[in-house]
Structure 1
């Protein structure tokens, strides 16, 4: 199990770098494109495409990261009024349903990638195969599913209520 947690820590570190780099690259690229349009009256043809690709990367890379940090969307009006033991088992149930949903979406995303490959669709400016942009979607949902699986494990093993593998319901 220790190896599992070490791998999780490595994935978190890589994800943090991907997210930070993606946001910085996207901001830099799009700012350069605005400056180019205003000063030189010419837009960079690939800027929107690359910006969109980076947005997809950041969005779907962030799924597992948000689950790990307990930063996913939660509605707690009823949940918070329940006894601790009920909250714990409800969190395990919610994590299981979310994990199963993410796994299902992974399979759908793989089917979409295969369909896009079959069509031979490419992006307009860079002529990059469109399936490459979509490849991050199942990875993001897969990492999210792993995080929810780990949330199930930690909530079963530990007495505290964990809303993410790094965050207890008390905010620690």
Structure 2
């Protein structure tokens, strides 16, 4: 899909694009590293069981930690690609400016909620670090893998706010910072007035 003409016109959009690329790099590094680690761990565990009749110690804990990390790192990625769960029955009935206004409102509120969750997740991580909780098999400090929860919520919040800003600075409707509205049957206000698509 060709990018709209206003996609790089604004200095604000260019600055936010840099932030978007940086957060995307962090997400890709975390997600890619977690997937590769989990894949290697499971393959080595199976080989060790087949060859030596003994698996990798702590494999279950490491698998659980990897899944926690991938889940929370995936929050920001899902928002970035507009692949998050959305209840859009009311939103889909709107057209033009009301539709865009509702999307901006949803993004602002969702971003605030993600930051609220990040704050409370940080409090939880801080509390388990303060008491020195560790995993039972490997003795890994639990705050280390759980630190991904506040990071993931914060990355998702940033993505929601980037989407809101993109919609406020563009004449097009964006479902995420980089993805245009994909519904071909949604006319813009100008198209409704002129009777064109």
Structure-1-length-normalised TM-score: 0.91
Among residues 74, 78, 93, which one is paired with 2:105 in the alignment? Answer: 93
> In terms of Rg, which structure is larger?
2
| Shift in alpha-carbon separation, 1:22–1:171, aligned structure 2, 3 A | farther
Deviations 1:81-105 (A, max 9, x none): 2122221111111111111111111
CA distance in 2, matches of 1:112, 1:121: 12
**Contact 2:79–2:159, Cα closer than 8 Å, also in 1:** yes
Alignment of 1:20-35 (within 5 A): 20-35=32-47
Greater shift, 33-42 or 14-23, is seen at: 33-42
**Contact 1:64–1:147, Cα closer than 8 Å, also in 2:** yes
**Contact 2:16–2:162, Cα closer than 8 Å, also in 1:** no
RMSD: 1.8
How many residues align? The count is 172
| Shift in alpha-carbon separation, 1:171–1:21, aligned structure 2, 3 A | farther
Map of 2:138 onto structure 1:
126
Map of 2:117 onto structure 1:
105
Among residues 148, 152, 157, which one is paired with 1:145 in the alignment? Answer: 157
Superposition deviation, residue 59 in structure 1: 1.1
Map of 1:161 onto structure 2:
173
SS in 2 for 1:164: coil
Deviations 1:77-130 (A, max 9, x none): 332221222211111111111111111111111110121022211112221211
Superposition deviation, residue 171 in structure 1: 6.7
CA distance in 2, matches of 1:36, 1:171: 50
| Shift in alpha-carbon separation, 1:26–1:164, aligned structure 2, 3 A | same
Structure-2-length-normalised TM-score: 0.80
Map of 1:47 onto structure 2:
59
Map of 1:60 onto structure 2:
72
Alignment of 1:67-78 (within 5 A): 67-78=79-90
Q: Please, which runs of 5 or more residues in structure 1 have no aligned partner? A: none
